[in-house]
Structure 1
């Protein structure tokens, strides 16, 4: 143990002063401020521990019919000659929409289609005349053969009757042979008379055979005439079918020529005309969209388009708050909706353009999100105004809810993850 140079009492005396300790008295205001600071800090800590924040994503979109918008296009190049409908008009299926004239003229000012029509009509009439003439000639020949068959039938019948008589005479002559032989044997007749009998019998037999041959010849002629009738009928039918085919081909060419010169476009469905973009006298190109049709019974829905950075936490059934550009939400409020469907693949800007959707996407691909509307109207100055197809829509969707301290500590956790 080390020895001290000075006594303990002296060392204690060095730490004491004559003035004593300093005492600071706090006022009432300072106490209030201190308490308030403690309360505020406590409230902040409680808010951080219990409070939460929901991250929202803002998307753009457009109102569309649930069954899709039917785009009616020009079938060919030409000039719009007539428009049979108006924007907003209700139409039925197969209703006439417009007519496009595609007439082409030569240097003399004559319609080329008209000249082609006259040529086709001349060919058509010529083929019809040829068909009728060949039918008449064929039928005339068949009638001649039928008359020949009728005549042969009469001749065959007559020959068959005479053949029967010849058979009867021959049979009677044969039956008398025994009698003639007995008479010759008894010398009642001469041998010359018996030979005359045999000669007459042979003559009858020859006559019978000739009549048989004649009958067979007539029957062969009849069969040949019938075969000729069948052959001519078959050939006539084949020729008629060939001419009918050529006539049908000319009819088809006439129809195609008529459709090429003037096309009448009909509505594929019942519905309401919208976005009528055409005027009478306007030149149109094949495939150009002239108007759209909202199908009948179609419900309105919203199609939103989301980039890939916003799609991760979107799910069907999520609530959506919609703002319509035509009705400022500061005055007319927002409308509710819910997510119905999210596309599994993205749409390119070219595909969006093909669907008449002009969404500001900075040339990036987008997912389509279908949102159902709580109602198809919006309250405007005490009345319900119907929403219209094509209206621009902005939407807020709640995508993620976390505690406030999780949002604050999130960057730190990510930094630790990166360091590890």
Structure 2
């Protein structure tokens, strides 16, 4: 067969239209094979072989090239943001106050409604703690006995004061009599001293006359006796004067002692009355107690209604304090609680992207905030606010299923850029206690830097 083909090719004339001239004689001379083989391959009667390239192949190649360029551009221009996902809730920036019941009982009256503004000292609730006994309501019976006891003390105080007035009047009267008697005694002493002086002058005259022989010695002796009697009279009157002075001093001291005794008695009675008043107030508090607002603000939530039973220290309402003592309420902020494993790169000033659970972010978008404060130490579960602890721990457990429920959490305070959210074209104000998830934007770098990070780290060693 091959012999026939070779003869056919050899017998073909070079002038034949079907024969093709040699295109590459140099290649024919340099070939490794025989000359006949080269000529057989060079003189192909059907012409040179050309491969057809359809348009679809070019399109695919262009598309692949465009995709490759886009990938390279994305790698060199695109960025990767590292985020930390945590949970939290909205709370007033100035905190919130829990209004609690002081004693167990029945909530009898509520003086406020939710959203109402109150001032410091305003009555919020009235709790009834009445107890019934066989003879009636116990606190009422105790109040009657305490009232009788107080009336008795008041009557005793009035009696002691009346007795003191009578005694003081008697002493004052005796002092007046003594003063009058002392005045008369002074006059009597003056007369007695005058008589004694006259008797002394008369005795001197009698002694002179006796010396001249005009009077007898008996007469002179009689004058001496009269002088002695008058001296004794003056001494008796002086002693009586001293006794009156002593009586005056005793009455004055008795008057002062009576006043001091009255003061002591009145003080004891007043202490007893104060003790009774305290017992009356305590008994009244056992019957009903008023719960007042500790400071100005707005009542956010009322958890109990009149007629419901409450326990001691049980929360009745939540009060949002007013801003700086004014009537305006503190704006809301977001408080995030994060475990220690995500706190390595968290810093103040970082941007926070917030997703409220009440408003799905797929429809209402992400809300922005900025970190303004980070707690220096973590909060143990027991240190969290009592009315928020269960919600905070539950949200933290949901955001990190592998975490420990007893793990301490850091508090991150976030200032909101807006106090409302657009809901179908209407600005809906945010409310305290709304739960949320947040992404803390920590680091932003290009994709090629992220890919080359291991190489760069190895080069720096």
State the TM-score bracket (shorter-chain normalisation). 0.7 to 0.9
TM superposition shift of 1:333: 3.0
Q: Which residues of 2 match residues 266-415 of structure 1 at below 5 A?
A: 266-297=292-323, 298-352=330-384, 354-357=386-389, 358-359=391-392, 360-362=395-397, 363=405, 364-409=407-452
What are the ranges of 5 or more consecutive residues in structure 1 without an aligned counterpart?
A: 1-12
| Separation in 2, partners of 1:23, 1:212 | 173
TM superposition shift of 1:299: 1.7
| Separation in 1, partners of 2:305, 2:362 | 38
1:65-100 C-alpha deviation (Å, 9 max, x unpaired):
111111100111001111111111122221111111
The match for 1:5 is none
TM-score, normalization: structure 2?
Answer: 0.80
Q: Is the 8 A contact 2:86 2:396 kept in 1?
A: no
- Change in Cα spacing, 1:170 to 1:26, as seen in structure 2 (3 Å) is farther
Aligned residues: 405
Corresponding residue to 1:157 among 183, 200, 205: 183
- Change in Cα spacing, 1:109 to 1:229, as seen in structure 2 (3 Å) is closer
SS at 2:112 equivalent: coil
Q: Which residues of 2 match residues 203-282 of structure 1 at below 5 A?
A: 203-282=229-308
- Change in Cα spacing, 1:172 to 1:15, as seen in structure 2 (3 Å) is farther
TM superposition shift of 1:36: 5.5
1:306-335 C-alpha deviation (Å, 9 max, x unpaired):
222222211111112223333333333333
| Separation in 2, partners of 1:99, 1:214 | 75
SS at 1:379 equivalent: strand
Over aligned residues, Cα RMSD in angstroms? Answer: 2.8
Q: Is the 8 A contact 2:110 2:125 kept in 1?
A: yes
- Change in Cα spacing, 1:31 to 1:23, as seen in structure 2 (3 Å) is farther
Q: Is the 8 A contact 2:202 2:223 kept in 1?
A: no
| Separation in 1, partners of 2:383, 2:175 | 77
SS at 1:315 equivalent: coil
SS at 1:98 equivalent: strand
Deviates more, 1:280-289 or 1:84-93: 84-93
What are the ranges of 5 or more consecutive residues in structure 2 without an aligned counterpart?
A: 1-29, 43-47, 324-329, 398-404
1:41-61 C-alpha deviation (Å, 9 max, x unpaired):
455345434432012223222
| 2:79 maps to 1:52 | yes
| Separation in 1, partners of 2:339, 2:246 | 92
Q: Greater relative contact order (Cα 8 A, min sep 6): structure 1 or 2?
A: 1
TM superposition shift of 1:280: 1.1
- Change in Cα spacing, 1:87 to 1:193, as seen in structure 2 (3 Å) is same
| Separation in 1, partners of 2:52, 2:444 | 45
| Separation in 1, partners of 2:49, 2:179 | 159
| 2:76 maps to 1:76 | no
| Separation in 2, partners of 1:123, 1:324 | 63
TM superposition shift of 1:135: 2.1
Deviates more, 1:348-357 or 1:185-194: 348-357
The match for 2:224 is 198
The match for 1:7 is none
1:382-414 C-alpha deviation (Å, 9 max, x unpaired):
332222212223322211223323433557899
